[in-house]
A = this chain, B = another copy of it.
Amino acid sequence: MNNPSNASPQDAALSILIKEIGSFHLGGRQVTLAGLPPKEMTFSTKGLPLVVDPNGEVEVEQMYVQFVKLAQPKSKLPLLLWHGGGLTGVTYETKPDGAPGWQMYFLRAGWDTYVSDAVERGRASWARYPEIFKTEPIFRTKKEAWDLFRIGPAYHPDPAQRLAYPQTEFPTEAFDQLAKQAVPRWLTNDAVTQKAYDAYVQKMGPCVIVVHSQSGYFGLQAALNNPDNVKALVLVEPHGSHDPSQTDLSAFKNIPTLWVWGDYVNDVPFWSKIYQQQENFRAQLLKHGARADLLNLPAAGLQGNSHMPMMDRNSDAIAALIQKWLVEHTSQSTNMQNVLSR
């Protein structure tokens, strides 16, 4: 893995000029823990017992955001990439097979990118339970990931015996790399997670958001809570539970939305039901005069996509369709059309 001291001309053509890479935590609150018993613990390399007093002030329920700002962005607005449940912002980084993911794609397309870890996950950290978080977390098994992410019809502990969908674009040989990206998940943190996401959108100002799976719910709610800041919302295989009849859809009047779905949705009842719910929601948006588009990948000629299209082999082709839609429908706010048509 040594690095050449000089890049080839081909590399240089693909290079991007960066102004700053950085990060911040935001949201959350201070709590004071009191009355917890001190515990005697042992450091493994020392062998000496140590009494740890857990009481005092701690920060909880914050989230983490990492940004890459371009020296010369083509979009006036930043692109926010939100991950799904039991995962982190790693979702958008290098793919399990080692190829560049959507973060790199959208950077090359000219967007300042912001990749976050929601409350409870990754670099956002997590808090004691039951004192702060109300329940214990759940840990996703490989079988659940194989089934839920629609990699194939039959998981097996032995990788050689796992059955993938014949046309799958997911790099099944790298499935265990995806499994290493999994983080524990709480089922009782939605309110505090939403609160942090809302603070994030308020801090960012005008922005474009791409959400995936569980963050479909958070993204729709963030748009409802801060409609002036969300200039477009791309919902990739979203899992949400908004009842359109109980929701004031007027917030979406000026927010173009795009739903993106992969293949095999009808092979998994869990997903076909969610797909129908989302399509019902989208239909109501259309009735209200909002732009609410559907990118059904198989219908668009792209077969074999899993629940993780940003990790599939053809992820760039999908990103290109999203990018095209964004240029068409956010040019007033991003100024991207002007740049691309120069």
Decide if A107 touches B21 in the complex (CB within 8 Å). Answer: yes
CB distance from A64 to the nearest CB of B (A): 7
Which residues of the other chain, B, contact A44 by a CB distance below 8 angstroms?
187-191
The digit string for A195-226, where 1 denotes a CB below 8 A from any CB of B, is: 00000000111100000000001000000000
Given A187-B42, A205-B1, A59 contacting B22 (CB threshold 8 A) = no
Which residues of the other chain, B, contact A30 by a CB distance below 8 angstroms?
142, 176
Which residues of the other chain, B, contact A103 by a CB distance below 8 angstroms?
21
**Which parts of A16-50 form the interface with B (CB within 8 Å)?**
16-25, 28, 30, 32-33, 39, 41-46, 50
The digit string for A48-79, where 1 denotes a CB below 8 A from any CB of B, is: 00101111111100101010111111111110
A94 within 8 A of B: yes
CB distance from A199 to the nearest CB of B (A): 12
CB distance from A8 to the nearest CB of B (A): 10
Per assembly, the copies of the chain total 2
Given A117-B123, A122-B123, A142-B56, A190 contacting B41 (CB threshold 8 A) = no
Which residues of the other chain, B, contact A135 by a CB distance below 8 angstroms?
41
CB distance from A17 to the nearest CB of B (A): 5
CB distance from A102 to the nearest CB of B (A): 12
Interchain CA distance A339-B179 in the complex, whole Å: 42
Decide if A25 touches B177 in the complex (CB within 8 Å). Answer: yes
Closest B residue to A65 by CB, please name it: B94
Decide if B58 touches A179 in the complex (CB within 8 Å). Answer: yes
A171 within 8 A of B: no
A5 within 8 A of B: yes
Decide if B23 touches A93 in the complex (CB within 8 Å). Answer: yes
Interchain CA distance A176-B29 in the complex, whole Å: 10
Which residues of the other chain, B, contact A59 by a CB distance below 8 angstroms?
142, 176, 179-180, 182
Closest B residue to A42 by CB, please name it: B187
CB distance from A71 to the nearest CB of B (A): 4
CB distance from A54 to the nearest CB of B (A): 6
Interchain CA distance A217-B44 in the complex, whole Å: 12
CB distance from A13 to the nearest CB of B (A): 10
A90 within 8 A of B: yes
A14 within 8 A of B: yes
A276 within 8 A of B: no
Interchain CA distance A310-B58 in the complex, whole Å: 22
Given A14-B19, A25-B180, A123-B122, A77 contacting B143 (CB threshold 8 A) = no
Decide if B94 touches A24 in the complex (CB within 8 Å). Answer: yes
Interchain CA distance A142-B57 in the complex, whole Å: 6
A-B contact pairs, 14 of them (CB 8 A): A1-B205, A5-B76, A11-B71, A21-B107, A23-B93, A24-B98, A43-B190, A46-B241, A54-B139, A57-B142, A59-B182, A123-B183, A125-B184, A126-B184
Chain A positions near chain B (C-beta within 8 angstroms): 1-7, 11-12, 14-25, 28, 30, 32-33, 39, 41-46, 50, 52-59, 62, 64, 66, 68-78, 88-90, 93-94, 98, 100-101, 103-104, 107, 112, 117, 122-123, 125-128, 135, 138-144, 157, 176-177, 179-184, 187-191, 203-206, 217, 241, 335, 339
